[in-house]
Structure 1
Amino acid sequence: MPVFSNLPEYRTDLIHKITDLREQEVLALVHTRLAANDDPLNIVEDCQEGLRQVGERYERREYYLSGLIMAGEIFREVMELLSPIIEIKFTGQETGTILLGTVAGDIHDIGKNNLSLLLTSYGFTVYDLGVDVPPQEFLNKAIHLKPDLIGLSGLITSSFDSMRETVRLLRESDNPQVAATPIILGGNQLNEQVCQYIGGDAWVTDAMTGVRLCQSLLADRKPSA
């Protein structure tokens, strides 16, 4: 992860424009950087930092929920520009299948949607169950799809128990493949202690880290040549 305070001005400029929700200026700057052959992954990282700062403003009550939604929409528009380039870069690389969903009792989906966009751009096959997904539905879909990874999303602290119940149900499945599938937890309120309480294999608080984690976990599971 780059140290954002030490980035060149053209990168911090994008971060600030996203943080200030300047949609058209963000898109114009992305076009400019692509025309200059900037690495699209740098652009994604800058967008993720901007989204993180938007989240901090929301937590400080400087933004309403509409600000979070708008930031997510700006990121979606940016990814529409970047996805074709990223997809070409990763064409032919073996990825995997990921089952995603926001757990029961939580209807927040901005972070999950951002992760889904990024994973798809990186060549992953993503099955998104949506929001407020009961534990049994995660289990049923996991048995049917046999994903390589399962991602549980939850923004609010009250979703932790729902995550824990979902993990328990998956781990106790009679299907050995499902029971052994790595489970990633995603959400701004997560930390290592919470992850251990829930029983997940790993946790992330932003989408780009989530992509890297998925890549790492699947690389570790590949059989040795």
Structure 2
Amino acid sequence: MFEEIKESIYNGNVPRTQELIKEYTLRRVPTKKIIEEAIIPSIEEVGKKFQTEDFFITDVLLSARAANAALRAIEKQDRMDGKPITKGRTRVVIGTVYGDIHNIGKTMLSLLLEANNYEVIDLGVDVTGEKFVKSIAKYKPNFVMLSALLMTTMKEMRCVIDLIREQNSGDFSQTKIMVGGGPVTAEFAKEIGADGYADDAYGALEWVKENIESNK
């Protein structure tokens, strides 16, 4: 039923994806059905291609942007119909730590999370520990994701985690922290007290899904 939408997302064709979403919503196809049976399966298929090295990072970014455009088109149509799309309860704060301005991996993960209908608060790059703490207090996320691509900025992850752990409120104790990026390893993540680690964006996405399931 949704092969055209899947193909347009798979190929990273944003205009065609938006056009198809408009067609389906005007035909009163339930938006939840479009998300669950077209958008998410498309991104999952792209993920498989990426993990088998049939897709490159640029391919994933294009597909994720198309999936994100599909969600925005659905949200727009639902608002026009007087029924805003309901955000999932899972909320993620993400950012590249202070001193590091690398953006591609973080952007890719943000797009993938949004394409899977998670609510993402992207703090950008060069983010201080204090800004992470303020964001947790403000948004009360389920997950915080820290990115670093330089050996010299990895140590900032420890500082951020220590600062978060120093807070005593329930908002902070319930939030799980994941780290990732080029030089980061599982051993380093464990050493600095992170709850999780992934070596790429799809691994991070799977970690979020697994932790949501374990908390049900």
Work out whether the TM-score is over 0.5. Answer: yes
Structure 1, unaligned stretches of length 5 or more? 1-26, 55-70
2:190 to 186, 192, 196: 196
Residue identity over aligned pairs, in percent, reads 26
Contact 1:171 1:180 in 2 (8 A): no
Deviation by residue 1:49-70 (Cα, 9 ceiling, x = unmatched): 5499x7xxxxxxxxxxxxxxxx
1:76 corresponds in structure 2 to 61
Deviation by residue 1:45-89 (Cα, 9 ceiling, x = unmatched): 31355499x7xxxxxxxxxxxxxxxx44x433222334438x98x
Deviation by residue 1:6-63 (Cα, 9 ceiling, x = unmatched): xxxxxxxxxxxxxxxxxxxxx998379x9xx9x52222331355499x7xxxxxxxxx
| C-alpha spacing 1:30/1:203, structure 2 compared with 1 (3 Å) | same
The within-5 A match list for 1:132-211 is 132-211=126-205
| C-alpha spacing 1:75/1:171, structure 2 compared with 1 (3 Å) | same
Structure 2, unaligned stretches of length 5 or more? 1-7, 18-37, 75-84
Classify the secondary structure of the residue corresponding to 2:11.
helix
Task: Report the TM-score, using the length of structure 1 for normalisation.
Answer: 0.66
Contact 1:95 1:218 in 2 (8 A): no
- Structure 1 residue 92, shift from structure 2 partner: 7.8
| RMSD across aligned positions (CA) | 3.1
Deviation by residue 1:186-213 (Cα, 9 ceiling, x = unmatched): 1122222111222101101111111111
Contact 1:150 1:184 in 2 (8 A): yes
- Structure 1 residue 169, shift from structure 2 partner: 0.5
| C-alpha spacing 1:122/1:95, structure 2 compared with 1 (3 Å) | farther
Contact 1:191 1:203 in 2 (8 A): yes
Contact 1:119 1:126 in 2 (8 A): yes
Task: Report the TM-score, using the length of structure 2 for normalisation.
Answer: 0.68
2:207 to 209, 213, 220: 213
2:48 to 41, 45, 49: 45
Aligned length: 171
